[in-house]
Chain A
Amino acid sequence: MTAKRTKQAVLEQEFLSLRAKILELAAGLDRLDRAAGQRPDDGRPDQLDRAMRLLLDAGPARAERIQLVFSRDYDETWRLQFSV
């Protein structure tokens, strides 16, 4: 049912876009480095570090795993705690 592109085709179509996004990330991190003050310790810089390390992991599902880095934990006992 769905067309399946080759890896070569995906690279041809997406290389420049991926390159641009990596540069955006790099420039954003450079901005953070150049900014005054200490690195905030509110957890977000660590989230960024963990997310970026996942980019270099072997797949699959990097996007899904990175989404979970930026997500609050789910507690299956929430209904008991809320009495709902």
Chain B
Amino acid sequence: MYYIDPHIHMVSRTTDDYETLAKMGCVGVSEPAFWAGYDRGSAAGFRDYFEQLTAFEPKRAGWFGIQHYTWLCINAKEAENVVLARDVIAMIPQFLDRPGVLGIGEIGLNKNTRNEAIVFLEHIDLAMKTNEQILIHTPHLEDKYQGTRMILDMLTADSRIDRSRVLVDHVEEHTIRPVLEGGFWAGMTLYPVSKCTPQRAADMVEIYGPERLLVNSAGDWGPSKPTAVADFILEMRKRGHPEGLIRRVVYDNPLEFFGQSRNFAFAAPDV
């Protein structure tokens, strides 16, 4: 089955991983800007990173027939530095019209601090001025519930936001319902230990239905499995779910959500 991974950090994966993804049926990846594992020292560092995301990664993905899309921001972890964050936000518009740039992301909260909230709101403001879609990171572990509620408070207070163009990612059992009831898209991340499993993601599809739900691997520099979406496909098949339902979550839904971005041009595989 062809699928699209809507959240994966290929900049931190080897080229072999692209080959493996292609063999698994992945035809598209969406890569939000994220924390590299250390705090970058300057806006120039982010400029180089955005260059890598918008120029090199699409080329590298293309060697294996995978279409690559990206999102730009300063992530929540580094957003604690408001001065740096403002320099980066000021630079982002220079990259927004590049092919494959889908919007602003992955913005969000990390430890749910005041500075993080300030920078989150300034990203939202940029997205509204440039008519971008938004991809949101919700915090890890014990911070997730509180942070997701805070994020939803900020989103719902802004009447400019079209909720159908916003993806709230890394939802789990205690955050998925308010996200969906709020009219946003919800992403389930299949990441070992700290996030969800293919089995629990399948449970949530069964409970809430497939509308506005995505699954992703968030494969990155940490212990992660970039092929996790294929694991979800298998789990759904083992439970007897029809191919049409599975394809909706892993292929049709990403196309529907990303199709709202002006820079999303997707060549569907010839079947």
Which residues in A have some Cβ–Cβ distance to B below 8 Å?
1-3, 5, 13, 61, 63-64, 67-68, 70-76, 78-79, 82-84
Contacts and interface: CB of A to CB of B under 8 A. Distances in A.
B256 interface: no
A1 B209 contact: yes
A71 B153 CA distance: 18
A61 B150 contact: no
| Closest 6 A/B residue pairs (Cβ) | A67-B174, A71-B145, A3-B240, A64-B173, A82-B114, A63-B173
B165 interface: no
B15 interface: no
Contacts of B129: none
Contacts of B200: 63
Nearest to A66: B173
13 contacts: A1-B245, A2-B206, A64-B174, A67-B145, A70-B141, A70-B142, A71-B145, A72-B143, A73-B146, A74-B146, A75-B146, A79-B153, A84-B118
A71 B114 contact: no
A72 B146 contact: yes
Interface of B: 112, 114, 117-118, 121, 141-146, 149-150, 153, 172-174, 200, 203, 205-206, 209-210, 238-242, 245
A13 B149 CA distance: 35
Given A67-B174, A71-B174, A5 B143 contact: no
Given A13-B239, A72-B143, 17 more contacts: A1-B209, A1-B245, A2-B209, A3-B241, A5-B239, A13-B238, A63-B200, A63-B203, A64-B174, A70-B141, A70-B142, A71-B142, A71-B146, A74-B145, A78-B150, A82-B114, A84-B117
A79 B241 CA distance: 43
B210 A1 contact: yes
A34 B240 CA distance: 44
Contacts, number: 60
B206 A67 contact: no
A4 B121 CA distance: 42
Nearest to A63: B173
Nearest to B111: A72
B243 to A, nearest CB: 11
B245 to A, nearest CB: 6
B238 to A, nearest CB: 7
Contacts of B241: 2-3
B37 to A, nearest CB: 24
Contacts of B117: 82, 84
A79 B120 CA distance: 13
A1 to B, nearest CB: 6
